[in-house]
Amino acid sequence: MKINIIFWDFDGVIVSSLQIREMGFRTCLNEYPKKHVESLIRYHRKNSGWSRYVKFEYFFKKIIKEHYTKNDINRLANSYSNSVKHLLIDKSLLIKRSMDFIKGKYRKYKMYIVSGSDGVELNEVCRSLGISNYFQSIYGSPEPKKDILKRVLRDFKYDPAECLLIGDARNDYDAAMENNIAFLGFNNKKVEKLSTVKYGLSEL
Residue 1 reports pLDDT greater than 90 = no
Over residues 91-147, the pLDDT tens digits come to 999 999 999 999 999 999 999 999 999 999 999 999 999 999 999 999 999 899 999
For the segment 86-91, the average pLDDT, to the nearest whole number, is 96
The pLDDT, as a whole number, for residue 55 is: 96
Rounded CA Rg of the chain: 17
- State the average pLDDT over residues 160-184: 97
pTM: 0.90
Q: Is the dihedral of CA 28, 34, 39, 42 positive or negative?
A: positive
- Looking at residue 48, what is its pLDDT? 81
Of the CA atoms within 13 Å of residue 111, those in its CB half-sphere come to 22
Instruction: Report the largest interatomic distance among the alpha carbons of the chain, rounded to a whole angstrom.
Output: 51
Containing 53, the helix (H) or strand (E) segment is helix 52-58
3-state DSSP helix/strand/coil percent for the chain, to nearest 5? 55, 15, 30
Task: Give the pLDDT of residue 27.
Answer: 96
How much is the average pLDDT of 164-177? 96
Can you tell me the mean pLDDT for 69-88? 95
- In Å, what is the CA distance from 9 to each residue of 16, 175, 177? 12, 11, 15
